[in-house]
Amino acid sequence: MRVVLKIVKKALPSVSMYFIIFFGMTIAMSFLTGKDQEKMYQATELTIYVEDKDTSVLSNALTEYLAKENEVETEYDKELLSELLFSGLVDYVVYFEEGFEENFLSGKKGGIERQSTKPNMAFVDQKIELFFQYVRGELAMGKTLEDACASVLKNTENRAETEVLSGRQAMSTRPGYFFFTFLAYILPCILIMVLGPVMYSFYRKDIKMRTDCGKVTVRKQNIEVVKGIALVAVALWALFMGLGAIIYHRDFTPAEYLLGTLNSLVMLLFSVAISVLLGVLLPNVEALNGASNILGLGMSFLCGVFVPAYLLPDYVNKIGEFLPAGWYMKNVILLNEENAATEHFTEFLMNCGVVTAFAVAVFFVFLVVVKRKKVA
Partner 1 sequence: MSTVVKIENLVKRYKELVAVDHMNLSIGKGEIFGLLGPNGSGKSTIINCLLSLTDYDKGEITVFGEKMRADNYSVKGRIGVVLQNVAVFDELTVYENIDYFCSLYVSDKEKRKTLVQEAIAFVGLEEFVKFYPKKLSGGLLRRLNIACGIAHKPELIIFDEPTVAVDPQSRNKILEGIQELNRQGATVIYTSHYMEEVEQICSRIAIIDKGQLVATGTKDELKSMIQTGETIRVEVPELTSDVLFGLEKLSHVLSVEYNDGLATIKCNGGRHNVLHVLEYLNNTETSFGRVFAEQPTLNDVFLEITGKELRDEVQ
Look at the chain and count its residues.
376
Q: Contact between 318 and partner 1 (CB under 8 A)?
A: no
Quick check: helix, strand or coil at residue 196?
Answer: helix
Q: Contact between 14 and partner 1 (CB under 8 A)?
A: no
Q: Contact between 275 and partner 1 (CB under 8 A)?
A: no
Q: Which of 115, 211, 253, 261 binds partner 1 (CB under 8 A)?
A: 211
Q: Contact between 217 and partner 1 (CB under 8 A)?
A: yes
Quick check: helix, strand or coil at residue 127?
Answer: helix
Shortest Cβ 201–partner 1 spacing (Å) = 6
Identify which of residues 103 and 221 has a Cβ nearer to partner 1 in the complex.
Answer: 221
Q: Contact between 3 and partner 1 (CB under 8 A)?
A: yes
Q: Contact between 212 and partner 1 (CB under 8 A)?
A: yes
- Choices 69-77, 212-220, 255-263, 307-315; region in contact with partner 1 by CB under 8 A: 212-220
Identify which of residues 6 and 118 has a Cβ nearer to partner 1 in the complex.
Answer: 6
**92 - beta bridge partners?**
48
- Alpha-carbon span 155 to 6, nearest angstrom: 73
Q: Contact between 137 and partner 1 (CB under 8 A)?
A: no
Say if CB 125 and CB 114 are below 8 A apart: yes
Q: Contact between 164 and partner 1 (CB under 8 A)?
A: no
Identify which of residues 161 and 206 has a Cβ nearer to partner 1 in the complex.
Answer: 206
Interhelix angle for 218-248 vs 176-202, to 10°?
160
Residue 72 CA from chain centroid, whole number: 36
Residue 101 identity (one-letter amino acid): E
Q: What is the DSSP string of 15-55?
A: HHHHHHHHHHHHHHHHHHHHS-HHHH------EEEEEESS-
Shortest Cβ 298–partner 1 spacing (Å) = 28
- Which residues make up the interface to partner 1 (CB under 8 A)? 2-3, 6-7, 9-10, 197, 201, 204-207, 209-218, 221
